[in-house]
């Protein structure tokens, strides 16, 4: 018997979960996935450790956001009047400042390909954790026993987010490493925009001398990029963010809808 194309197409159009999502997914429509018990009180639904991690994630993201705001306003526009720096900081959101920093990176004349890749990798992860952080902060209690919360995202679409203790702890660890990366990337933008150039004391004159372009390109930027790459390796070595605890059930339900049976169950018999 052929696959029921109508159901498969309907699933794609609805963009329902397929059981492979990490941390965040579209809300499933199957009623069998609804929680058996509901709890509206956060202090009853979540442990003290979960609530502490949610608070820590909030504060750590504030530090990340503040550093992006600083680079995107006061470093990128270091040679502009102070009133313009303040105006940029007020007018542009953190997301817009990231876009502006990406444009600066693309048009950079001192940064090499490795340093640009490090910046791009960090900014990509910042976008990812921003989505997770927003979901966690704005979520509503849903299936507290499985550690799943629900929320409506910026597109007004229903989503679910993992708020289990292990998911929250791993996300917090990732936020910590990203903040360290941003602090190092800060210097690359200072060099590129000439906001602050490294230098050394000239022994013959006793005056501070900024390093020339060749020294920056051949020595300073590559060495600093290696430090960032080491930080990024530490982040990538972290345990991966978890999938949803009912992922296997989601895949079984999908298989039943599309094939009329669960191939995985048939293979195990």
Condensed to tens digits (0 to 9), the pLDDT of residues 94-109 reads 889 999 999 999 999 9
- Fill in the DSSP letter of residue 202: -
Q: What is the mean pLDDT of the chain?
A: 87
Q: Is the dihedral of CA 252, 257, 259, 260 positive or negative?
A: positive
Interior/surface letters 122-154, b for 16+ CB within 10 angstroms, e for the rest: bbebbebbbebbbbbeebebbbbebbbbebeee
Q: Do 158 and 197 contact (CB within 8 A), yes or no?
A: no
Q: pLDDT band for 113, please (50, 70, 90 cuts).
A: very high
pLDDT at 170: 97
Q: Which residue did the predictor score with more confidence, 26 or 198?
A: 26
Calculate mean pLDDT across residues 61-79: 90
- Fill in the DSSP letter of residue 241: P
Note the pLDDT tens digit of each residue in 196-231: 877 777 777 777 777 788 888 899 999 999 999 999
Q: pLDDT band for 4, please (50, 70, 90 cuts).
A: very low
Tell me which of 154-158, 166-170, 207-211 is least confident: 207-211
Task: Delimit the domains of the chain by residue range.
Answer: 48-243
| CA gap 16, 28 in Å, rounded | 6
Calculate mean pLDDT across residues 9-25: 75
Q: Do 51 and 42 contact (CB within 8 A), yes or no?
A: yes
Q: What are phi and psi of 21, to 5 degrees?
A: -70, 150
């Amino acid at each position: 018997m052929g696959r029921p194309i109508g159901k498969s197409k309907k699933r794609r159009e609805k963009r329902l979960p397929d059981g492979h999502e990490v941390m965040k997914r579209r809300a499933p429509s199957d009623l069998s996935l609804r929680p058996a018990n509901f709890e509206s009180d956060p202090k009853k639904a979540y442990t003290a450790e979960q609530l502490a991690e949610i608070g820590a994630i909030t504060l750590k993201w504030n530090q990340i956001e503040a550093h992006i705001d600083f680079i995107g306003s006061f470093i990128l526009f270091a040679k502009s009047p102070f009133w313009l720096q303040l105006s940029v900081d007020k007018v542009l959101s953190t997301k817009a400042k990231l876009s502006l920093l990406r444009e600066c990176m693309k048009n950079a004349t001192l940064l090499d390909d490795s340093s640009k890749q490090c910046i791009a990798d960090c900014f990509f992860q910042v976008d990812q954790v921003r989505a997770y952080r927003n979901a966690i902060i704005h979520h509503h209690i849903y299936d507290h026993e499985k550690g799943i919360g629900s929320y409506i995202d910026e597109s007004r679409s229903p989503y679910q987010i993992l708020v289990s203790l292990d998911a929250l702890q791993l996300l917090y660890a990732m936020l910590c490493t990203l903040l360290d990366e941003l602090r190092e990337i800060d210097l690359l933008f200072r060099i590129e925009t000439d906001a602050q150039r490294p230098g050394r004391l000239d022994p013959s004159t006793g005056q501070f001398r900024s390093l020339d372009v060749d020294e920056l390109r051949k020595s300073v930027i590559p060495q600093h990029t290696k430090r960032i790459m080491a930080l990024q390796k530490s982040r990538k070595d972290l345990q991966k963010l978890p999938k949803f605890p009912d992922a296997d059930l989601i895949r079984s339900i999908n298989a039943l809808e599309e094939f009329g049976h669960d191939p995985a169950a048939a293979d195990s018999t």
